[in-house]
Structure 1
Amino acid sequence: MDIKKNDILTVEITDTGTEGEGIGKLALPAPDAADTEEKAGGKAAGFTLFVKDAVIGDTVQVKVMKAKKNYAYAKLEKVLVPSPFRVQPPCAFHRQCGGCQLQSLSYEKQLEFKQNKIRNNLVRIGGFDPEKIDACMEPIIGMEDPWHYRNKAQFPFGYDKEGNVVTGFYAGRSHTIIPNADCALGVEENQEILEIILRFMKKYGVPAYEEVSGKGLLRHVLIRKGFASGQLMVCLIINGKKLPEEQRLADELWKIPGMTSVSVNVNMERTNVIMGKKVRVLKGEEKIEDSIGDVVFRISPLSFYQVNPVQTRKLYGQALEYAGLTGEETVWDLYCGIGTISLFLAQKAKKVYGVEIVPEAIADAKENAVRNGITNTEFYVGKAEEVLPRKYEADGVYAGVIVVDPPRKGCDEKCLETMVRMRPGRIVYVSCDSATLGRDLKYLGENGYEVARVRGVDQFPGTTHVETVTLLVRKP
């Protein structure tokens, strides 16, 4: 059988890929039954199909989009026999939008997929013994209600084929906007805010930004909500110095209950980076407040802050449990951002040092410490691999526990080297990408540490992303 582009095939989906795609195998007859023992035994070679939007357990009709020798990428045409794990997605645009890869999969099965994803990355990339990982892994922490959990969303503006201004989310692997103001993962206020802005643009002739030409004015809008405080923030990212009649827009948005901050962010660069560096307040405050447990944080449009506050409390609680603090430890929090984990840990530690390369984030961390009356923290601007050895070697600052929460690319190797040199008794690694986690744990495992506990936390239901907390202890 020769599989080629545009072929229509029927296949049963028996597995799920790392990006949420369905995986099925076609049984292909061996070309020469005498070639090998396997072929002589009458067994067939397997041809793998990767099918976006197909669910494990489905039998589907697909159209081949790109064919290779032993595998192909195919488009879902029709579900012939639905999987028992298939559910009706709440969003009508889930297949076009690039944001939710798993909406058609039952939540219980989503959690199973993420648990297996973490395990497989630690075994395959980290090189750990499967039995060892199985003994260390604890059940993933899911959500009771896995919808409308995001406290932050960034909506691009553009035009549809008829020339109408639209907003929504980009289609997968593209910058084509799928018009949708009511995301199933976002807060309910998003729709009202976006509809007000669209009416304003139409009334005052405000043009949307066009990436190809670099012309137009409104690029994106950032919406944030403090789940604990109920406070709302709207930040308009523009390709210019100001919006026409911008105060009228601010006044209209101010009518929404909870609106606390309306601002403009200027980004006139030809870039895919969403936010510029300058924020100008139109009405209210520049920052809103939210809390994780008993710690209150002030958040600006430029601040990094976990997008799922319900699960963040569970995530940080797990990190705190793994840290095993008694009140006598000196803790280093690397990639500390605005101090979210640092201040959480400071409630149980003797001293917490936070390191972050972004100066604005460190300023926020210091402000948040003062705001909460926390006095046992110090924050430093710089690279962890530069700040740590300076404080350790020059000032003799020891680390009993090191907590790391790096970006998706994982830890810099120099940072890992420094951590090993400081010889903390425990390392708590919070990861948003279990692939780079596996890589970094392999390094730490080869340099005196062993994995003691691992637990996933589902910060991003409906998607393939998952957070992981790992406890490493120094070998005797």
Structure 2
Amino acid sequence: MICPHYDAFRCRSCTLIEQDYDQQVADKQRRCQELLGPGVAWLDPVLSTPNAFRNKAKLVVGGTTAAPTLGILDPEGAGVDLRDCQLYPPELQAAFDPLARFITRAGLEPYDVPARRGELKNVLVTQSPDRELMVRFVLRSTEALARIRKHLPSLQAELPGLAVATVNVLPEHKAVLEGDREIVLTASDTLRMRLNGLDLHLRPQSFFQTNTAVAAELYRIGREWADRADPRTVWDLYCGVGGFALHVAAPGRQVTGIEWSTEAIASAEQTAAESGLPGLRFAAGDATEFAVTADAPPDLVIVNPPRRGVGPRLAAWLEESGVRDVLYSSCNAVSLARDLESMPSLRPVRARLLDMFPQTGHYEVAVMLRRA
């Protein structure tokens, strides 16, 4: 992939862009194989399109109210406009110019990081498989809230697929994407993410995989591997909006999803209610605390932790619990390998790399563990 921003050193986020795509995938798989060791049946990797795969744009706002930039900041804090970034599909890119015009119309002053002055910090845009949009304006305060409400109909006219619009308030000067307070401006507060015949619901502060097509394949793999294990009881720890739990639900099977985010749990419960799938329960809480305080383990545990892995306490519980099967979906094979060292009785028997993030060294790897 040829990128003028990369060549001009304006953006170097795509660290593998100079490599052939097939070589990128081969190197990722080889690294995962080295970390997991021998005795694992590796299935063919799940490939992505090399570009136009991202369903979410995290756009830092720079420039001025009259001429905003949407993209990233350079080392001096000046805005670098990346509206034509090739990682975004054309339908998502098409929203960026209307958003820039809206910033000007609503009089939103971009936040100046070096000077610590201004209001609008980030614009977060998510596209559903049905090409509907969620747009979140991350602001320093609610000073511009009335103007945003006033001009929102004009943005909706330019973006007829705009399903959810919110203001997120981030008053602190710190390197984070969003704050805790969310103000919903539209009638709907969820974006429908249709995957594999299920309508998952994404609320503003809920996590969803960045690559929709590869995420759909990940959940299909989870369903297939769970059915092969044939468990009566399943826990989906770090369940997010319920992707794995909803996919493995089946008659005669009890599935429990645990996630810290109450927003994500509300989304999972909404999908469960709409789908009529049997045997599903979701609860907000800490995955490790839920496991270590439970009366008895399930037949199958699904874990999809953040990059740090499940950590020593949950890994120790999995080792000692007697649970028969574990489906571990990891975005970091280094922490995965470290967790596996803490649970030697659970051996990886099957694995599959999913190239969720082309042009970078990141990936997802699904591994089925069985008690030796």
Residue 93 of structure 1: aligned partner: 5
Are residue 436 (structure 1) and residue 339 (structure 2) matched?
no
Q: Is the 8 A contact 1:231 1:258 kept in 2?
A: yes
Structure with bigger strand share is 1
How much has 1:324 moved relative to structure 2? Answer: 3.7
Residue 416 of structure 1: aligned partner: 315
How much has 1:349 moved relative to structure 2? Answer: 6.5
Are residue 270 (structure 1) and residue 173 (structure 2) matched?
yes
Within the candidate set 241, 244, 249, 2:142 is matched to 241
Residue 112 of structure 1: aligned partner: 26
How much has 1:115 moved relative to structure 2? Answer: 1.0
Q: Is the 8 A contact 2:202 2:264 kept in 1?
A: no
Q: Which moved more, 1:241-250 or 1:413-422?
A: 241-250
Q: Is the 8 A contact 1:219 1:239 kept in 2?
A: yes
Please list the CA deviations of residues 93-131 of structure 1 after superposition, one character each: whole Å capped at 9, or x if unmatched. Answer: 135324311222222112112112212333xxxxx3xxx
Residue 298 of structure 1: aligned partner: 201
SS where residue 305 of structure 1 aligns? coil
Q: Could you tell me the TM-score, scaled by structure 1's length?
A: 0.72
* Whole-angstrom CA distance in 1 between matches of 2:70 and 2:294: 48
The one-letter code matched in structure 2 to 1:341 is F
Once superposed, what is the RMSD of the aligned Cα atoms?
2.3
Gapped regions of structure 1 (runs ≥ 5): 1-87, 123-127
Cα distance, 1:358–1:204 mapped onto 2, change above 3 Å: closer
Residue 53 of structure 1: aligned partner: none
Q: Could you tell me the TM-score, scaled by structure 2's length?
A: 0.91
Structure with bigger helix share is 2
SS where residue 312 of structure 1 aligns? helix
Residue 137 of structure 1: aligned partner: 42
Residue 55 of structure 2: aligned partner: 151
Residue 326 of structure 2: aligned partner: 427
Cα distance, 1:473–1:349 mapped onto 2, change above 3 Å: farther
Q: Is the 8 A contact 2:319 2:342 kept in 1?
A: no
Within the candidate set 244, 267, 283, 1:341 is matched to 244
Q: Which moved more, 1:465-474 or 1:181-190?
A: 181-190
Cα distance, 1:272–1:348 mapped onto 2, change above 3 Å: farther
Residue 54 of structure 1: aligned partner: none
Residue 303 of structure 2: aligned partner: 404
Residue 72 of structure 2: aligned partner: 169
Are residue 121 (structure 1) and residue 35 (structure 2) matched?
yes
Please list the CA deviations of residues 311-353 of structure 1 after superposition, one character each: whole Å capped at 9, or x if unmatched. Answer: 1111122223333446652011111112111111113760111
SS where residue 340 of structure 2 aligns? helix
Are residue 286 (structure 1) and residue 189 (structure 2) matched?
yes
* Whole-angstrom CA distance in 2 between matches of 1:347 and 1:174: 54
Please list the CA deviations of residues 345-376 of structure 1 after superposition, one character each: whole Å capped at 9, or x if unmatched. Answer: 11376011111222222222222211222231
Residue 77 of structure 1: aligned partner: none
* Whole-angstrom CA distance in 2 between matches of 1:415 and 1:175: 40
Are residue 466 (structure 1) and residue 349 (structure 2) matched?
no
Cα distance, 1:158–1:331 mapped onto 2, change above 3 Å: same
The one-letter code matched in structure 1 to 2:302 is V
The one-letter code matched in structure 2 to 1:93 is H
Cα distance, 1:319–1:149 mapped onto 2, change above 3 Å: same
SS where residue 140 of structure 1 aligns? coil
* Whole-angstrom CA distance in 1 between matches of 2:297 and 2:192: 33
The one-letter code matched in structure 2 to 1:342 is A
* Whole-angstrom CA distance in 1 between matches of 2:81 and 2:347: 48
Larger Rg: 1
Q: Is the 8 A contact 1:453 1:472 kept in 2?
A: yes
* Whole-angstrom CA distance in 1 between matches of 2:214 and 2:77: 30
The one-letter code matched in structure 1 to 2:4 is A
* Whole-angstrom CA distance in 1 between matches of 2:67 and 2:368: 52
The one-letter code matched in structure 2 to 1:291 is R
* Whole-angstrom CA distance in 2 between matches of 1:246 and 1:435: 44
Higher relative contact order (CA 8 A, sep 6+): 2
The one-letter code matched in structure 2 to 1:463 is T
The one-letter code matched in structure 2 to 1:92 is P
Q: Is the 8 A contact 1:354 1:379 kept in 2?
A: yes
Cα distance, 1:188–1:252 mapped onto 2, change above 3 Å: farther
Q: Is the 8 A contact 1:405 1:431 kept in 2?
A: yes
Cα distance, 1:191–1:141 mapped onto 2, change above 3 Å: closer
SS where residue 294 of structure 2 aligns? helix
- Runs (4 or more) in structure 1 with deviation over 4 Å come to 173-176, 325-328
Q: Is the 8 A contact 1:327 1:349 kept in 2?
A: no
* Whole-angstrom CA distance in 2 between matches of 1:349 and 1:183: 47
How much has 1:221 moved relative to structure 2? Answer: 0.5
Matches within 5 A, 1:163-242: 165-170=68-73, 177-203=79-105, 205-227=107-129, 229-242=130-143
Q: Is the 8 A contact 1:325 1:348 kept in 2?
A: no
Q: Is the 8 A contact 1:323 1:471 kept in 2?
A: no
* Whole-angstrom CA distance in 2 between matches of 1:350 and 1:391: 18
SS where residue 93 of structure 1 aligns? helix
Q: How many residues align?
A: 367
* Whole-angstrom CA distance in 2 between matches of 1:432 and 1:208: 33
The one-letter code matched in structure 2 to 1:359 is T
